[in-house]
Amino acid sequence: MPRVTQPPSRPGSDPGQAPTLDEVARLAGVSRATASRAINGGNRVSPTALAAVEAAVATLGYTPNPAARSLVTRRTDSVALVVPEPDERVFSDPFFVHTLRSVNRVLAPRDLQLVLLLARPGDEERRMLRYLGRRHIDGAVVVSHHSEDRLAEHLASLGLPCAFVGRPWSGADKVPYVDTDNIAGARLAAEHLVERGCRRIGTIAGPVDMAAGIDRLDGWRSAVLDAGLRDDVVEHGDFTEAGGARATRALLDAHPDVDGLFVASDLMAAGALEALAAAGRAVPDDVAVIGYDDLGVAERVTPALTTVRQPLNEMAEQATRLVLDQLDRTRPTQPVRVIFPPSLVVRQSA
């Protein structure tokens, strides 16, 4: 039976030299291979032998060699946050700041390193896919994905543990994802504008190549049609403040009688407020405005923005836990979907 004895005298060794795996094995009374397996995950090691090796490691103060451990476990102890967006957008949008913090908040207690992967379509994206395919990371959380990147299919074909924040445009049946009910959230916004008495309700919709952009447009449209109103007051933005301002100017030119506006992100809504002020339209007296996100922008703008809250921090944390669950399992499981309900936060703009 494996047992722990007193530490060996280590004859001939340098007293200042770090203990070796062979010494751990001798002290635990097991083979070197068993000691290695016990230290690197415990696969095919009896509970008694595992306890003996753990005690020997503690007695000797042994620290595994990370490179050797990686060869045994095929683990890098790192998880990527994959963002197929240009870097200038990632570092200026609170959506990504909140996502980074939330992912790292889950990884840190597991002593896992967060790796940020950014990629524009084209050569950068191909390079990122090669990096993922070579398993330089153990798993990936993917956020802000577009129809053309087809990341869900790529990661599923690699068999790489992953989870998406937001429903993938395609391949949603192949990978786990966490989302908010974007259709229901947009309906909440449009219905609130109807209840305020708005009768010419427009929307600054998100990009047409992202599931969130399409779902929020569909939710707005279903609510205004249910209220007997027209659904033709639509402009598309790109989820940036400048894009929201441009789309709002175009919408006002085409539909000067608009009296309610649902904007598919708070950053775009900040741009919309600037455009409305420049056009001499008072908010909320002339035009009531509602955004989407509630990640800090809504409280900083003037007037304070009524918005649909999506619980992004909880969503990103849940997606990260889904990746860790896959890393901890020895057998693949069916992809999991987790949908968080949105809520309306009423402030001065509506």
CATH superfamily of the 182-310 domain: Response regulator (3.40.50.2300)
Class of domain 21-73: mainly alpha
Nearest CA to 263 out of 272, 254, 251 is that of 272
Asked whether 45 and 38 are in contact (CB, 8 A), the reply is: yes
Digit-by-digit pLDDT tens for the chain (350 residues) are: 444 444 444 444 455 577 888 888 899 899 888 888 787 766 678 888 888 988 988 888 887 765 455 444 467 889 999 998 877 777 788 999 999 999 999 999 988 999 999 877 667 778 888 888 888 899 999 998 888 888 888 888 888 999 999 999 888 899 999 999 999 999 999 999 999 999 999 999 999 999 999 999 999 999 999 999 999 999 999 999 999 999 999 999 999 999 999 999 999 999 999 999 999 999 999 999 999 999 999 999 999 999 999 999 999 999 999 999 999 885 667 889 999 999 999 999 99
Calculate helix-pair angle for 32-39, 21-28, nearest 10 degrees. Answer: 100
Sheet harboring 343-345: ordered strands across?
Answer: 234-236, 201-205, 260-263, 288-293, 306-309, 343-345
Quote the distance between the C-alpha of residue 34 and its chain's center: 38
Q: Do domains 21-73 and 182-310 have the same CATH topology?
A: no
How many angstroms separate the CA atoms of 207 and 205, rounded? 7
The residue written with tokens 């968080």 in the block is 340
How many angstroms separate the CA atoms of 223 and 238, rounded? 23
Please report, for the chain, the start and end positions of each structural domain, with discontinuous segments joined by +.
Answer: 21-73, 78-180+313-340, 182-310
Listed in sequence order, the residues at least 6 apart from 74 whose beta carbon sits closer than 8 Å to its beta carbon are 135
Asked whether 185 and 219 are in contact (CB, 8 A), the reply is: yes
Listed in sequence order, the residues at least 6 apart from 336 whose beta carbon sits closer than 8 Å to its beta carbon are 176, 322
- The architecture of the domain spanning 78-180+313-340 is 3-Layer(aba) Sandwich (3.40)
